[in-house]
Structure 1
């Protein structure tokens, strides 16, 4: 049995359960997620997978199907990892040390290796030393790391930014070094001026640019600006000096993340601003305009308050978490262009990234922060686990393994079933017949996790189930999920469901949405056109009664 947090990442499927129970942290990277680093509770570190250019850090370039020790890192207290498509890897310890390994063709490992020699690959994690402004090599405590495609960035506890690697797009900032073509730097050096010596508290890298947040919550960027990813007024290809992002006065940014050529910023008011390339809808603003050089706030019909954001330096996907704990995605989601934040069935960003992203992690996944799984994690893992189940539910010939105690506690329907003299009370197999396997499984999983893991088009059947089983909380969750997933192409469909089920709250929401998008709704697919025409009279009648202030 594999931990539910790892189920979304196929590279871990072959691990033995005894090994999995001792895992503290994992990081999946590489092409299509075919490489991983594993940190155990006892601080042992392992590499697993393809090992391109020695990126597992195990001392060679051979792939491995079994976890192999990363000897240099074993015993270190690992804080986080970062990965660049070079490919190269950084590891940061809680003591503030940085180790690097992988491909070093442009100095991204911060190790002095002859560019023309065969030693461009370093397969053993090597300690990075920083060059101080006085020119000496010393050890400074590092608090944060990030990787672009071929450059690396580190922030010291003093708020200084050190940087190395590829400089073809000025992504190293205004560092000075002796390179004949000014294209790469093999030793990390302090970014001169460092945003007028402002202290930096957070950094993120896109493919060939860098964004940083100061202690005063301002955002600065430098490097490639071909698609406006620096968020400045000036229409220029690159910037070698840190430039302040053109955000409204008074906005305080608490987090910034970078896609390959776009940027997201989260403010203390729980709003998201986006800028840069938008060909896949990765800015989430509903527009097909290719480039936005100035920050624009992401808006949603339900006025969502956001608490976290994520992006990947190799992708055009964007991810965010709402105050209610729902995860949204937009941009390039497995080839689909999603133009606005769209709710997913997940409650954590790693699962959403695994499902819709490029199969690599945006940051390491910590399994058990306090040394062991909590109650919620145990419940998630227990769902559909035949080894602990005491009840089997068969739907459309497929089995779902559950636990009577959990069903009794979480569902009025099952509580009534098991407390009274229903024939199912004494059976080890129950065969409900009204609903599909996919929907019934989603219902049972909801009882274990509190999350609806179901495509939005299936929620109408789940609503029927909630009505049949008197599950009022599930009913509200379905309505909330539908409201957050309403689009021009499905508003008529869900309006019909709202009318049929007498769901006044959803009905009113659909009316508001349709009126606000009248032109677009009337131009939807043929499947909806006839339905819209039939409802138009009702829409118009209700429009006069809608209170837009609510």
Structure 2
């Protein structure tokens, strides 16, 4: 921290210095002697054992052939992010280690699974992979973009992941896409600018911006044309043959678009009126032609396959294969999107993250859910928890059915203690009550402005493997970041491995620095508020963002 104080007298000056430079062109449980009480150690922290997210991922990834080998199981148990392309898979663990798994299908005798660690990508907090047969892009949560060519070489990569710079230097990448064969690549930065590389140009270059254009939110590209979707639903395009890459607005009578995606040779658009369209690029000016599927709520595709998935009413999904031998089939609503792509191509259409799984009954009728909720107010509890010297009752059968953590604990430590009060240490009563309330009602009962209690509940939910509750808490905190709680959330997010919350709190502080730092006269004051570790992380985040 001494180095930080040498850079500037106050933290506000550090902000100004960075922005001026880069705005140029660019525990053990409670011990008690009471015979009718037992003491329960606090649940293991996520750092000590796989979290709820990774436990959910292990089952989730078994639909992919590359992850079914027993060699992969130790890595799967700690997975937080994954991507698959046929006989290659890549996994990011909760420790932020990255492993490439591959199998050489050219071996007629059948090959074993090759697993290698990728040191260049360890610790960079990967957010998304974009993979095709011989090339991948990696977007990190810090906004860096890596490229990796020729990674599918037996047991190890021939090339190494490299940070892409060029026009991306000092900019934060929010998303990236590549065309089939990786001839063209596009990156969208958080300032709404588009950058392109490929076709002989190795380093990214900036695509010219129309001063009248709204902010771009999404990109798509195939070998001949690139598209950009704005936040108002307008489409801009530019052809690859144009060396300057100057976008033109696509004139159309259609209602605004809300999504664009690509198959191997077709760009598909979805409008706010739930109509889907294919882009015809055979003429000089591209035009949209309708897809005869109505009431389309969402679309998904893979850029290396001539296929698109259309979600219609009641979550029924229609798969359409393009081309002369095209076909269409339907998938039941119980079949997930990842499962469809796994069964059809063994290619994930986007990186795989933990899926929310409600423990116990789902969609089994409102009356049953209401009956379970009514038990919350009943006076026939058969297990009593003592939290902050106050009792709270619950039902063993409900806890065992609705929570894997409670099921395990009731089966083991608490099995012979049916008359005991179970002490829950180091936890606030209102937070533990909110956890039990969620198990009974599948909803949160804490006001959104109680950010400290919601944060504590998020940590408790992670320890108790309540993934859906943990994600709901993090989503509520992100939605309600404000001047009062931004520093608290940034300082403490890492305790719950809440990377997205930390990123959003950091972004809020940076975007509102002029008002948030008015009452902070020196870096020492800010260090007292955040602590040395969080302040150091904030400074490094600023330097990384505007380097």
TM-score by length of 2: 0.48
Higher relative contact order (CA 8 A, sep 6+): 2
Under a length normalisation based on structure 1, what TM-score does the superposition of the two structures give? 0.48
